[in-house]
A = this chain, B = another copy of it.
Amino acid sequence: MRYKLTIAYDGSNFHGWQEQCTPDGNPPRTVQQVVRTTCQQVLGQPVELVGASRTDTGVHALGQVAHLDAETSIPIERMAMAITSRLPDDVEVRHVEPAPPDFDAISGAKRKQYRYRIWADAHRPLQLRHCVYHCWVPIDVRKMNDAAMRLVGEHDFAGFANAGHGRTTTVRTIYDCHIEDVPHSPEVHIVVQGNGFLYNMVRIIAGTLIEVARGHKHSKYIDELLAEPDRQQSGPTMPPQGLVLEWIRY
């Protein structure tokens, strides 16, 4: 039986999603390793856990999706709770549902949404410092939104990817990209929805939009980067802690 799991985590104390083997036999703490071994304990059998997105160290998730195969008598409605109750407090299996045998968390993903949280204030984020990027200089949200909307559509995003993505094509479709000004808070969010993302793509989009928001670049700069992709010209890769994988649709 194949199961689809929806997993949420605070990435602060994880070395990303992907399980790693190290020669010294002391692998770093990763989400995949922690959730997989807990699933094995609960299900009483070895399992392979295939996750949709390989989030980096420090990146968070509300709706990571993974699949696994297992035979168990645990009722489906109790399975998420049974696994979560044995997980450490920075990760949670939010839902478990039965999936068709050919369901694949990676190749079946049709649409993903990420959010990049910016703390736009002279004061420090303090309690939120592991969940936001602190931008203490003024930013122009209207200009930033104008720039964000220019990313929507099917484009070659090679200018928004770091080396190491290992993908044959760098063409992706962005369905939505806009800025949310959070009420009663100094937070400004970049929301990006697309059919797939290249290595560090959302963090580079964030860095590029912040260049515009700070007045260093005009929003037409986005059009140029899409027309003539050049990683040397786009903005910096923003730090991981502001990034959240919100959901994945199949």
Contact A126 B94 (CB under 8 A): no
Q: Which residues of B contact A17 (CB under 8 A)?
A: none
Q: Which of A84-92, A147-155, A162-170 contacts its partner?
A: A84-92
Q: Which of A39-47, A127-135, A198-206, A230-238 contacts its partner?
A: A127-135
Count identical subunits in the complex. Answer: 2
Q: Which residues of B contact A8 (CB under 8 A)?
A: 123-124, 126
Contact B127 A84 (CB under 8 A): no
Total contacting residues, chain A, CB less than 8 A: 18
**Is A4 part of the binding interface, using a Cβ–Cβ cutoff of 8 Å?**
no
**Is A197 part of the binding interface, using a Cβ–Cβ cutoff of 8 Å?**
no
Q: Which residue of B lies closest to A89 (CB)?
A: B129
The 8 Å CB contact of A129, one of B60, B84, B90, B123, is: B90
**Is A211 part of the binding interface, using a Cβ–Cβ cutoff of 8 Å?**
no
The 8 Å CB contact of A10, one of B84, B91, B94, B126, is: B126
Nearest chain B CB to A116's CB is how many angstroms away?
14
- A contact set with B: CB distance below 8 Å: 8-10, 12, 60, 84, 89-92, 94, 123-124, 126-127, 129-131
